[in-house]
Chains A and B, each alone.
Chain A
């Protein structure tokens, strides 16, 4: 990243795939220590920079798996020490919010909706790193609900993208699934939907499930999307802001995008969504967030520690 422009954004699975022709197990976090050097090398090469030309080292130090975080953090500290560059720790969830500002102007105040396989969270953003969590999921994340319900419908896990594709030819009114807590606060709950689909499928003969797969997918999507849209609408209203920042992998969902666009028009607000590559986990969003933190004077030192859980 230079002056807000992404120079390189490398994901380890791709580099290693190219280099060794194999796939890195997604979950093998300690294997990160084997891939991090190659990944950083590749990033510098793509950017056409030497390590001494870097101004600031940004690193995600939480929330996440301690094993993975320690690998990245230790590497970043080593880099910072060896080349004498400032170190900036970044919260992974913050980075999903600031991913919006890779391609768009920074706008405050705003409400951010982070919606992915691991997170469903509404955050009020009053200024750079001036955040208040307005609501979060009490059980499953929205992306997890898509993935697991798709699996119940016989689709390959993770099934989110396939549900989205099938939903486009289905009737969202076909089955009535609950919109948990839709009028109650700004927290989310998606595990009841999973249970209700489970029982609904038990009541339907398997051939009917197969024949009405698109309708069932559309009904499930509508149940999830309705809740996300209504809570986002209410959060924006309560915060009294004119901007909604959408991010996380589920922001690719076409029904969610369409319904959010309609909501924005009705409410007279603006919605920003990053390009897909910056919605899912990526290095550029960490770099962007570190750039803004550095600008705001939020610099860390070698005592920076990783943390496992999101603090509310």
Chain B
């Protein structure tokens, strides 16, 4: 596990971009963190590593899944509105999970039981002094 402290949206984006460099085709990443923790900004930085502009990324809360075509295809999920993991299966989630792109999933805890075993987790935590602690490759305690 690696820990990073960020103090601005730009630093959170940089953390996402750095983390992306450790990712390979077929990876699935679960992004944990409460509302306003910076998950979408982390993804804005993440896509830069694949030749995309951060402005490509907007919140997928309503759209559920967004597709970004960079040097790899990035599937950006947001499971905030998902009440039952079956719903995300209904929209074809497994097809994305086993594709040669990268799936990056906000609110992965909502679909815990259908996430593949090898999913990597990142946790964004807001701190008292208005900074954020970002834990990369954090253990998935909810499963163990």
Chain A contact residues, CB within 8 Å of chain B: 25-31, 63-68, 116-119, 137-141, 143-144, 148, 151-152, 191-192, 194-195, 197-199, 202, 308-309
In the complex, the answer to whether A140 meets B63 with C-beta atoms within 8 Å is: no
Assess whether A191 is in contact with B59, with CB atoms less than 8 Å apart: yes
Give chain B residues whose Cβ lies under 8 Å from the Cβ of A137: 58
The interface of chain B, by Cβ under 8 A from chain A, is 9, 34-36, 38, 40-41, 44, 55, 57-59, 61-67, 81-84, 86-88, 90-92, 126, 128, 130
Bound Cα distance from A28 to B85, whole angstroms: 10
Residues of A within 8 A of B84 (CB): 25
CA distance A152 to B41 in the complex (A): 19
Q: How far is the CB of B82 from chain A (nearest CB, A)?
A: 6
Minimum-distance CB pairs A-B, first 4 = A118-B62, A198-B36, A27-B87, A28-B90
9 extra interface residue pairs, beta carbon distance < 8 Å, beyond A67-B92, A148-B36, A191-B36: A28-B90, A64-B63, A65-B65, A140-B59, A143-B62, A144-B61, A148-B35, A194-B35, A202-B128
A31 to B44, CA, bound (A): 32
Distance (whole angstroms) from the CB of A133 to the closest CB of chain B:
13
Are A139 and B62 interface neighbours, CB within 8 A?
A: no
Cβ contacts under 8 Å, A143 to chain B: 62
Point out which of B9, B36, B44 has the most chain A C-beta atoms below 10 A from its C-beta: B36
A209 CB, min distance to chain B CBs, angstroms: 15
**Chain A to chain B contacts (Cβ below 8 Å), 25 pairs:** A27-B83, A27-B88, A27-B90, A27-B91, A28-B87, A28-B90, A29-B90, A29-B91, A30-B90, A30-B91, A65-B63, A65-B64, A65-B91, A68-B91, A117-B62, A118-B62, A139-B58, A141-B59, A141-B62, A148-B35, A148-B36, A151-B35, A152-B36, A195-B36, A199-B126
* Chain A residues, Cβ within 8 Å of B90: 25, 27-31, 67
Task: Check A138 against B63 for contact (C-beta < 8 Å).
Answer: no
Pair B36/A118 contact, Cβ less than 8 Å? no
Known: A27-B82, A67-B92, A198-B126. A140 touches B35 (CB 8 A): no
| B63 contacts across to A, CB distance below 8 A | 63-65, 118
Check A25–B64 contact: CB distance below 8 A: no
Contact B59 A25 (CB under 8 A): no
Task: Please tell me if the beta carbons of B59 and A308 are within 8 angstroms of each other in the complex.
Answer: no
